[in-house]
């Protein structure tokens, strides 16, 4: 490795999805564009935010009465009371402003005949504290995320934000509890770059690629949280991973909840609307964790379409009664996916679906301004921020409601960007020591010299199978403990992987190895946190502990990765508005 290239910025934002771009807009507005850099391993508009389909939730009340207070309550209840309640209040209140702000910035929302932003139903969103579904999801057909990303990216370009595209974060420089910059690998050249910064914001998105069947893009490998956990930063509530009920059978590609929002119905082999037995009030619009479990229960009871649980069985999502006009107008991409991947017209035939790993509720613990939490006592890092799916504020608790991630990006991305810009105005730049990139350089050299006969592809497949089968929708202590041990040995096996390609430019072998390392580290924290929580809550459903246990477990978990093991701690939940109740829908 030659000497790293050096850069200096006030604020460095890692990630160009919705969270990173919104933070960049705020930060560049306050401290000047040339003082803010966005680092992204992908070209910004390829970020996973662009794949978001169904909508962004806000109580605009455009179609029927709605209130932010109802939105906040639904969020808390949907998250099985593990949500920090003041944070949920901010999310719901600020969502309204956020949506109008996006509209003013040029986002082409779908409209009502009167020209207002149109809204549709989504799971767990209700009127008057659970009475009936409400139309809260604002949308741009089924391309909502795509439109958000395009809108924010063009605003950033207009504001002259400095973009470093195809730069991979490999290390965050932390001195005690102060963050002073990052180290990134330039994919086109293989060169290392050190960015000195007064503040760093991590917005690297999700990590669904640790599971075999997932809706997540290939790039969703959790790099930000993994790099931080290796630097001693704790990760919060990692045991809560959401399975979306409707992935395309055998592929995991997402069929948005918007299909059910528009009236789509889940049916078993007999054609029965089985959600009547699991959620009599909200039916197909119950929260995702409940529907994913209902599908698994139907399949296990032999009521899947194939009638054989041993055969990778599935259920049907019936949208035929919506008619081709509604499908083409409101769900054009979904209709296209069905034709492309299934050779099926959803106006004619039901869509075969299975649950798919979708969203990490846990992540880097932050306060309401995106500042990263360091310990159980509420100590903080200085100059280190996180926002978006990789962060845990926590507004999603044990189970996120649909449309609430896009709100989270805009609301908390903005708050973090704002706080960061105030912080950098009074902070001094600390130059990283000349040898700051040495550990990264040595690590890359070591990887290049590995000579064992393990194959990354096999390790990846084993990890995905372990997570899917032992830390999936239903979980058991013995299986999770086994998964922890096996993940530990897979981490060891990584030291015996030989890299075939040694070139500098776009070395995908090397990149994929780094990403696999990140997924393995996060999988280990996930499995250990899940084994440690001996109750069922939200997306964490244990067959050996089927009940929620507020007495012992109404607390956030914190996990530290230390010497290949996970040390666990806890953090209180903010219950300042609503008292926890049993969750009925």
Ligand X SMILES: Cc1cc2nc3c(=O)[nH]c(=O)nc-3n(C[C@H](O)[C@H](O)[C@H](O)COP(=O)(O)OP(=O)(O)OC[C@H]3O[C@@H](n4cnc5c(N)ncnc54)[C@H](O)[C@@H]3O)c2cc1C
| DSSP, res 155 | H
Look at the alpha carbons of 27, 33, 37, 43 in this order and tell me if their dihedral is positive or negative: positive
Binding string to ligand X for residues 91 to 130, with x set by CB under 6 A, is what?
A: ----------------------------------------
Kindly state the smallest distance separating residue 34's Cβ from ligand X, in Å: 20
Strand partners, 164: 39
Instruction: Give the binding range for ligand X (CB under 6 A) out of 11-19, 89-97, 289-297, 558-566.
Output: 11-19
Question: 127, 136, 260, 288: which one is catalytic?
Answer: 288
DSSP string, 480-546: HHHHHHHHHHHHHHGGGBPPS---STT-HHHHHHHHHHHHHHHHHHHHHHHHH--S-BTTBEESSS-
Instruction: Give the binding range for ligand X (CB under 6 A) out of 41-49, 151-159, 448-456, 500-508.
Output: 41-49
> With contacts defined by CB under 6 A, how many residues of the chain interact with ligand X?
45
Kindly state the smallest distance separating residue 554's Cβ from ligand X, in Å: 25
CB atoms near residue 534 (< 10 Å): 12
- Nearest residue to the partner ligand X, using Cβ: 17
Does 19 bind ligand X (CB under 6 A)? Our answer is: yes
* 475 given a catalytic annotation: no
Distance of CA 573 to the CA centre of its chain: 20
- Mark out the alpha helices in 191-322 (DSSP H runs): 223-230, 258-261, 275-278, 288-300
Binders of ligand X among residues 376 to 395 (CB under 6 A) are 388-390
Among 11, 12, 33, 42, which residue interacts with ligand X (rule: CB under 6 A)? 42
Instruction: Give the binding range for ligand X (CB under 6 A) out of 52-60, 153-161, 318-326, 371-379.
Output: 52-60
Strand stretches in 369-467, DSSP E? 371-373, 380-386, 391-392
CA distance 178 to 196: 12
Size of the chain, expressed as the number of residues it contains? 585
Does 404 bind ligand X (CB under 6 A)? Our answer is: yes
Among 11, 12, 23, 52, which residue interacts with ligand X (rule: CB under 6 A)? 52
Binders of ligand X among residues 340 to 379 (CB under 6 A) are 359
CA distance 24 to 38: 7
Instruction: Give the binding range for ligand X (CB under 6 A) out of 66-74, 202-210, 533-541, 568-576.
Output: 202-210
Among 28, 31, 47, 536, which residue interacts with ligand X (rule: CB under 6 A)? 47
Among 98, 235, 254, 338, which residue interacts with ligand X (rule: CB under 6 A)? 254
Place of tokens 């039901």: 350
Binders of ligand X among residues 161 to 180 (CB under 6 A) are 167-169
Contacts of 136 (CB under 8 A, 6+ apart): 57, 58, 59, 60, 66, 71, 119, 121, 122, 125, 403
Does 18 bind ligand X (CB under 6 A)? Our answer is: yes
By the criterion CB under 6 A, which residues form the site for ligand X?
Answer: 14-20, 39-42, 44, 47-49, 51-56, 144-145, 167-169, 203-206, 215-216, 219, 223, 254, 256, 359, 388-390, 403-406, 409
Annotated catalytic residues are 288
């Amino acid at each position: 490795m030659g000497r790293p290239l050096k850069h200096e910025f006030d604020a460095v934002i890692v990630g160009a999805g919705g969270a990173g771009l919104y933070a960049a807009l705020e930060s560049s507005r306050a401290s000047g564009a040339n003082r803010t850099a966005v680092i992204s391993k992908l070209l910004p508009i390829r970020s996973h935010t662009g794949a978001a389909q169904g909508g962004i939730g806000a109580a605009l009340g455009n179609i029927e009465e709605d209130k932010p207070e109802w939105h906040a309550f639904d969020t808390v209840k949907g998250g099985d009371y593990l949500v920090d309640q003041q944070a949920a209040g901010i999310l719901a209140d600020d969502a309204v402003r956020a949506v109008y702000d996006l509209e003013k910035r040029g986002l082409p929302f779908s409209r009502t005949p009167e020209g207002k932003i149109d809204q549709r139903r989504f799971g767990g969103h209700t009127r008057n504290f659970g009475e009936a579904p409400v139309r809260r999801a604002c949308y741009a057909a089924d391309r909502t995320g795509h439109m958000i990303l395009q809108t924010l990216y063009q605003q950033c370009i207009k504001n002259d934000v400095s973009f470093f595209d195809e730069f991979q974060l490999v290390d965050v420089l932390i001195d005690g509890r102060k963050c002073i910059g990052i180290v990134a690998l330039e994919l086109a050249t293989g060169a290392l770059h050190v960015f000195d910064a007064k503040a760093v914001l991590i917005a690297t998105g999700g990590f669904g690629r640790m599971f075999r069947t997932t809706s997540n893009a290939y790039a969703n490998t959790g790099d930000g949280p993994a790099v931080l956990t290796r630097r001693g930063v704790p990760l919060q509530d990692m045991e809560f991973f959401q399975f979306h009920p409707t992935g395309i059978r055998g592929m995991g590609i997402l069929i948005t909840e918007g299909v059910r929002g528009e009236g789509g119905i889940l049916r078993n082999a007999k054609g029965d609307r089985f959600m009547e037995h699991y959620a009599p009030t909200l039916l197909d619009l119950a929260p995702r964790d409940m529907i994913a479990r209902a599908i698994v229960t139907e399949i296990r009871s032999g009521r899947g379409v194939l009638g054989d649980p041993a055969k990778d069985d599935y259920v049907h999502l019936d949208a035929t009664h919506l008619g081709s006009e509604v499908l083409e107008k409101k769900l054009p991409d979904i209709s296209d996916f069905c034709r492309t991947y299934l050779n099926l017209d959803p106006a004619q035939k039901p869509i075969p679906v299975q649950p798919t790993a979708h969203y990490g509720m846990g992540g880097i613990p932050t306060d309401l301004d995106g500042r990263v939490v360091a310990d159980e006592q509420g100590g903080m890092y200085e100059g280190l921020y996180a926002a978006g799916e990789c962060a845990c504020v926590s507004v999603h608790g044990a189970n996120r409601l649909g449309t609430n991630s896009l709100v989270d990006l805009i609301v908390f991305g903005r708050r973090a960007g704002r706080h960061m810009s105030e912080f950098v105005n009074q902070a001094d730049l600390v130059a990283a020591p000349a040898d700051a990139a040495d550990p990264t350089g040595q690590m890359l050299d070591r990887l290049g010299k590995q000579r064992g006969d393990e194959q990354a592809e096999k390790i990846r497949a084993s990890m995905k199978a372990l997570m899917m089968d032992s830390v999936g929708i239903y979980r058991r202590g013995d299986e999770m403990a086994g998964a922890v041990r096996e993940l530990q040995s897979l981490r060891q096996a990584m030291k015996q992987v030989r890299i075939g390609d040694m070139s500098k430019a776009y070395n995908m072998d090397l990149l994929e190895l780094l990403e696999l390392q990140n997924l393995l580290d996060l999988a280990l924290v996930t499995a250990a946190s899940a084994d440690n929580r001996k109750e069922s809550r939200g997306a964490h459903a244990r067959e050996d502990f089927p009940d929620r246990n507020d007495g012992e477990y109404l607390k956030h978990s914190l996990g530290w990765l230390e010497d290949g093991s996970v040390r666990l701690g806890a953090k209180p939940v903010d219950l300042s508005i609503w008292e926890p109740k049993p969750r009925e829908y």
